[in-house]
Structure formats: structure tokens, C-alpha cells
Structure 1
Amino acid sequence: MLHLRLITPAEKTDEVVRKIENTVGTAHLVVLPGAARNPAGDVVLCDVAREAGDGLLASLRELELDRTGSIAVENIDLSLSRRADKAEEEAPGEGADAVLWEGLTDATHEESTLSVTYVAFITLATMIAACGVVLDNAILIVGAMAVGPEFGPLAGICTALVQRHPRLAWRSVIALLVGFAVAMAVTVGFSLFMDAAGLFHKSGLEGTRPNTAFVYAPDAFSFIVAVLAGIAGTLSLTSAKSGALVGVAISVTTVPAAANAAVALAYGDTGQTLGSTNQLLLNLLGIVVAGTLTLLAQKHFWKQQRQTNTD
């Protein structure tokens, strides 16, 4: 269930209430006349089944409530109510399958912002991965994958393509490109420093690496895994199962490939630099293609389901 807190101008309150009452899957409607002060107006509270939430939000935005008032949405972790149970039963579809497009756009907008924190995380992840490739340590590679925040901008690109938000697409691409560029540049310097300190050596990069050689040797499986991870990551976002993102993060060779390219560049190994760059680009492409197609499929599925329920 979702909880909606609305601030509505007094002249729009009746229409807002009608929208809520006519939406299948709503419960616990509360109207507090004149309770809002900034902006001034009435406060309307209600709960709505997740599968009916996107339609209700769309109808509220048609009233320009997001401009003249306020729309706040929260997830309800626990609701002990027969009315809530009935609302979920009446709402079409399953809550786990529902896509809250407004929430997805907002979440990816935040995750795809080029910020100091984002750059710090992707840089630290790349430096950890650099240690992993030189030491041929799979544990460090997995740790770097989990730390990397690059799925946020990738999800932002997918959402922007499906929802036709050029500004979100642009900011996501910038975050992705600038983030990896800064991370790889810093990692080149980090590698040279570690080499000067005697902690890194070129033989560690060019020697036999049974645990990490895959990061600079792209093949068909690289793209297949990226596609599968893109689907899983997108589903985890749209279904609010964020825990699955950890599994997605450690299944795709993005940060490790960038790290290997940076270390190889520091040592002048053109072969590994090109191979790692190809691995990186292949994985990014696979995730974006799979994520976009997954969102398109979900959008089509819910459109068909709404039409069926309307008929």
C-alpha cells in the first residue's frame, strides 16, 4: 500500500476527493479542511494499493495539484486494516508487478545526479577494483562491484528513454561519463603511486590471473550477463525490491573493467586497456538495452491490463 498526503486548494478539494473515491483500490480517506498553511489549503490523506497508485497520481497531476498544492507519497510497510486488504484485492493486478512511474522518475533523477558523493563512491570502487586486478583477488573485485553506484545513471537513461525525459537522459549520461572519467584518471594516479611505493608491479597485471582475467576479455557471455543484470536491476527498482540491486551490482563487470583499463594505461599496456574498455562499453550497452526493453514491456503490460479492466 501507498500513503498519499495531499495539500489541495479549497476550490479543488471536492474534485480531488472524487478522483480518490472513483479509484478502485483506495481506502482510509481523510479530509482536513483548512489544515494547510504553506501552501494554504486543505489536507487530504488516503491509502491506495500500489497497483492503482500510478493511475491516481496521473489523475491528480491532471488537476495540476503538483503545481498549486502538494503530492507526497510514502510506502506503507505494515497496514492492519480490513479496508486496506479489501482495497488491495479490488485493485487490478499485483502490487509487486506494478510500476509507479512518478516514483521511478524521481528515484532515478536523484540517483543519476552528478554529486561529490557519487564521484567519491565510483572513484573509491574503481581504486578498490584496481587493487583486486593487480592482486588477482576476486573478493576485492566483488567488493568494488557492490560499492559502485553506476546503476543509478544507467537506470536514469532507461527511464528517460521510455518516459521521454531528455533532461533526465542528459544528466544521467553526464553523471556516467564524468564519473567514470574522474574515477579512471584518479586510479591511474593511484596506480603510479602504488607502483612507486613498491605495492603494485607490472608483473601483477600481466601475469597469470585466473580470477580476474575476465575483466579485459569480453565475450558473448559478457553481453548476456549484462542483459540479464539489466532486466533484474530494472525489476528491482520498479517493484521496490532494492535488495536485489546488490546482486545486480556484483554480476556486471563495469567498475572492474574501468579499473583494469586505468591500471593498464598507467603501465602502458595498450592491449589490456582496449580490452577492458570494450568490456566496460559492452556491459553498459547491455544494461541500457535490457533496462529500456524491460520498462517498455512493463508499460505495455499495464496499459493492456488497464484497458481490460476498463472494458
Structure 2
Amino acid sequence: TPDEEMHVAVRGELSYYEPQGSCSLIVEDVVNMGESEYSQVYAENKETLAADGLLDDENKQPLPELPTTVGLVTSADSDARIDAVTAIHDRYPEVDIKINDASVQGPDALEALMSGVAAFDEDATVDVIVVTRGGGADKTLRIFNETPLCRVLANTETPTAVGIGHEDDQTLADEVADYRFMTPTHAGEVVPKRANLDQEHVQLADRLDTAYRSAVDSKLTTSKTALDNAYESVVASRLQKLEASLEHAADRHAEAELLDLRNQLDTAYRTLEQEKEHQEQLEETVDEVRDEAMSEAEAKVARQQRRYRTAIAVLVLVVLGLAALYVI
């Protein structure tokens, strides 16, 4: 669409309406013969903003994933306001919308729009700022090409989203904003779809349950393996210690047994030696007793023999005496 003051060449047919005496030109083609004065202003403004880096994508902020409050800057009682609110609530009914009414065209529009954006930027409860208006003549949209408004939009700490005019309209405010949507009916793009979130929530819950079960199973398996390894390690270590203690105890027991056996052997040997010595003493005593008995027996026999001889002698004397008597 040609801008005002643009120099163009047109081709078409003339139409004459006789009752009113009016003549019309039915345009079939338009050729741009040179930029209008405003086109030069637009280009200069865009060049200035680009030089300051306000059009660079790396300087743009991402929109919040789930804003709880949206700040809406638009004209009061306009279709754009109704369309924007409806679009946002259709996608996510629970989101809060704060509205700053601002003129979107005319002498007061620039200050009103800048003030509305700045006020929401200072409001800590606002998560994203939306600026929008419906379509109109190109001249009525020029306010959104002004560099002061573009700088305010670009320098906010709160993410901004701008949608101006119809789908084929594009302003510098669209380009400096963190996010551009096509028309007020697309303003809902700044919030997620509740249905999608619910579905995603279910999917995430399922994935979380699956991941939880998998993590628990993996943790249990890992813990069981670690516990088994630890148990085996402790048991092996304990067995080694017990084996070492048992071997040490066995060695000490064997040494004690050997010592006891050695002591018993020494005692038995000493006892044997004592018994042997006692036997020898006993044998000596027996020999002595035997010798004494023999001596006593020999003495007794000698005494008996002496008595026998004495008796015989007496008997002989008696016989001799009797014989003598008989002879007499």
C-alpha cells in the first residue's frame, strides 16, 4: 500500500459517472517512483535503533513460560482490548490481566503509551507487558515507529510483546519488542495453552513416575550390588581375620600342647628315674634283708645243730651211764 506523499505511477482506466459529473480512475498497477518523506524518516529511525543494537535478537528477552499476570497497554473500550483479553483467557483462563488504557493515535498517544509501558515495568507483579492495537491507516500506525517509544519497549526489565494492526502491518515497535504477534487476536501467544499444559502435565507425571520407578529400581539394584559387595568384602575380611586368629590360636594351642606334653614327658621321665632309683634302693634293701635273713637262718641252724649235738652228747652220756649201771 503506497504511503502518503509517496511518488507513484499508476496504470488503469478512467471511469466517468455522468449523473454526478465525476470521473474515477480504476487503478490496475502501481509503480513506486521514489520514497515518500515519511519513508525516509522510518528508515532513519530504524537505522538509529539498529546502531544502538535494539534490533539485535541477542538483546531480546525470552517470554516467561507461565506468566501469572499480564500487563496490557491498549486503547480503552476498543475491539483490540476485547480481542486481546479474550485471546489470553481462551488459552489460559487463570492468568490475571492488568490494563493500562492508552491512546494509540493522536497527539497524546506517544506519552500515554510510554507511561503505560513504564508503569507496568515498575510493577513487580507483572510478568510480561503486551502492547497492541487494531488495524488502521498507515498514518495512524506511525506512532509505533517513534524512537522514544521503541527505546522504552527495548529497555524494559520486563519482557515485552507487541502486536500492531493487521498481519501485513509491521512497525519498529514490533521489531524492538522481545516478541511480536500478528494482531490483537494473537495476543494469547504470550501465555501457554492450558489444555497443552494439562496434557504436558499428564505426560510429565507419567514420565516422572516411569523415571522414579526406573531410578528406584536402579538405586535398589545399585544398593543391592553395593551391599552384596560390601557384605562379601566384610565377610571375606572377617574370614581372613578369623582364619588368621584361628591359625594363631592353633599355633598357640599346639605350642601349649607341645609344652604340656614336654612337661608331662619330663615329669614321667623324672618319675621313672625316681622309680628306678627307688627300685634300685628296694633291690638293695631286699639284698640286705636277704643277707640278714640268711645270716639269721645260718645262725639259727648253727644254734639248732649245737643243740642237737648237745642233746646227742647228753643222750650218749645217759646211755653210757645206763650201760655202766647195767654192767654193775
TM-score (norm 2): 0.22
TM-score (norm 1): 0.23
Based on CA coordinates, which of the two structures has the bigger radius of gyration? 2
Q: Could you say which structure has the greater relative contact order, defined with CA pairs below 8 angstroms and 6 or more residues apart?
A: 1
